[in-house]
Amino acid sequence: MLNFGEVLTAMVTPFDANLQVDYEAAGNLANYLLDNGSDGIVVCGTTGESPTLTEQEKLKLFRVVVEAVGQRGKVIAGTGSYNTAETIHLTKEAEKIGVDGVMLVAPYYNKPSQDGLYAHFAAVAAATSLPVIIYNIPGRTSINVSVATLVKLAEIKNIVAVKEATGNLFQISQIRQSTPADFLIYSGDDALTLPILSIGGAGVISVSSHVVGKQMKEMITAYQKGEVAKAAQLNATLGPLFRTLFITANPTMVKAACNRLGVKVGGLRLPLLEAKPEEVAILEKVLQQLELV
């Protein structure tokens, strides 16, 4: 049975002072995350500011992280876009580099039909031997991959997982009920990781794990061992951080948190802006409460 792990981090892309990709920092960050609770890394997802990265930057990031990580953890390449042909091309190039899988966000902006969504994902899956994770986040894409569409996609051999960020626990429970037992469901929302575990989820593709990866791993392990009260307490303790990291556009706050903790990841490319002083103050308070600073 395929297993990417329980805590995958949607890794930020480090930039230097000129907002050029800092590849050395990216390799170091990937290993830091694996040292601190993560089982794998998602490179060039939206938390990695993928819309602002060129194809050449993405491919070099895939290569750098694969080389830096080696066999220590899984490397998942974010290769999805709203252009099927470009997604296929980037996926094929990522496969040549040696990533362990790809994550495909639902095509955004152009709002395809459910049949169009199916055809898009099926075409990409057919073009690669890599395992594929579907990323369903209608709050950003304006389109929901329906249960029926996802169940049909799960019949494709190398479509093996979904990152569910709908916030709809009923939909997620329907997916679990209607897909094979080895089809993996990952939480796409840190705050819903524990509830999603309770209805059959496999883990989380996380932003907060940049900061509290060990605690996220501890929470999941506690739940799996039947220590539900302990898991619930950890979830409650981490809740303020989960909320704070999304008080403005992601990855603004998680980059601020990393930089504050001495994990230098640099700034953000436009159209994203640095955290405002009042947002930094909120973050500082939460980091102090968690005794991280």
Catalytic site positions? 135, 163
Round to whole Å and give the CA distance between 24 and 14: 9
